[in-house]
């Protein structure tokens, strides 16, 4: 596995609509593994392929145990072609992005989402996510459509500059 270089805001690849993955093969699994290692090295909870310079619909997510609530299990996903097929409710929380280091902002999101995707064995999966996990899914799927969280902050004055050692609630 390898840690890949993160692309930053201003790089045109972050504004492209990523293309679907037609088949899960060794190269896609290796890419997902490298994205995983990159996400862990950068202390993110999610990463989308455009963030490492590949305009493909592939995301990885890792929420450690107890991330939002004490009894939350660990959540780990490597998914191709994720798509929100249902969303419900509202929540607003602080987000940061590995592609926009040093900033956080309050972003309105759905409280829960149902996501349809393909796993790394090529099997279709459906995931129901709420709270922070739902935010990460929405943040990552936005990346696949060329959308950054800063496009969604209600009020740009809520964007704050932070030091690296103070990550946002959801840094992805
Ligand atoms: Zn991001």
Residues 8-47 pLDDT 10s: 999 999 999 999 999 999 999 999 999 999 999 999 999 9
Say how far residue 5 (Cα) sits from the centre of its chain: 16
What pLDDT score was predicted for residue 52? 98
Model pLDDT for residues 60-97, shown as the tens digit of each residue:
999 999 988 899 999 999 999 999 999 999 999 999 99
Q: For residue 161, is pLDDT > 70?
A: yes
What pLDDT score was predicted for residue 164? 61
The percent of residues above 70 in pLDDT, for the chain, comes to 97
Helix (H), strand (E) at residue 100: strand 100-109
Distance CA 46, CA 52 (A): 12
Task: Residue 56: count other Cβ atoms within 10 Å of its Cβ.
Answer: 18
Model pLDDT for residues 88-109, shown as the tens digit of each residue:
999 999 999 999 999 999 999 9
Mean pLDDT of 135-150: 98
Q: How far is the CA of 171 from the centre of ligand 1 (A)?
A: 7
Mean pLDDT of 146-168: 83
Catalytic residues: 140
3-state secondary structure (DSSP) of residue 65:
coil
Q: Is 70 exposed, middle or buried (0-12, 13-18, 19+ CB in 10 A)?
A: exposed
Distance CA 157, CA 26 (A): 44
What pLDDT score was predicted for residue 129? 97
Task: Residue 91: count other Cβ atoms within 10 Å of its Cβ.
Answer: 15
Determine the CATH number of domain 12-161. 3.90.45.10
Q: How far is the CA of 166 from the centre of ligand 1 (A)?
A: 16
**Pairing of β 170-171 and β 91-97:** parallel
Q: Going by C-beta distance under 8 Å and a sequence separation of 6 or more, which residues neighbour residue 74?
A: 62, 63, 64, 65
Could you tell me if 45 and 126 are in contact, meaning their C-beta atoms sit under 8 angstroms apart?
no
Distance CA 105, CA 114 (A): 24
Extents of the domains making up the chain: 12-161
What pLDDT score was predicted for residue 158? 77
Segments of 8-74 assigned E as strands: 46-48, 58-63
Q: How far is the CA of 82 from the centre of ligand 1 (A)?
A: 15
Q: How far is the CA of 72 from the centre of ligand 1 (A)?
A: 22
């Amino acid at each position: 596995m390898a840690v890949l270089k993160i692309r930053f805001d201003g790089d045109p690849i972050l504004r492209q609509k990523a293309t679907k993955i037609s088949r899960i093969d060794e190269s896609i699994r290796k890419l997902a593994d490298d994205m995983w290692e990159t996400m862990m090295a950068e202390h993110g909870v999610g990463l989308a392929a455009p963030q490492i310079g590949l305009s493909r619909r592939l995301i990885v997510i890792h929420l450690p145990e107890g991330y939002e609530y004490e009894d939350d299990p660990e959540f780990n996903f490597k998914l191709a072609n994720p798509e929100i097929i249902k969303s419900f409710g509202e929540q607003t929380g602080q987000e940061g992005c590995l592609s926009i280091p040093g900033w956080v902002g309050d972003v309105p999101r759905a409280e829960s989402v149902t996501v349809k995707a393909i796993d790394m064995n090529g099997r279709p999966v459906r995931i129901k996510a709420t709270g922070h996990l739902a935010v990460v899914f929405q943040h990552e799927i936005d990346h696949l459509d060329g959308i950054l969280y800063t496009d969604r902050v209600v009020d740009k004055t809520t964007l704050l500059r932070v030091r690296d050692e103070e990550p946002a609630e959801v840094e992805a």
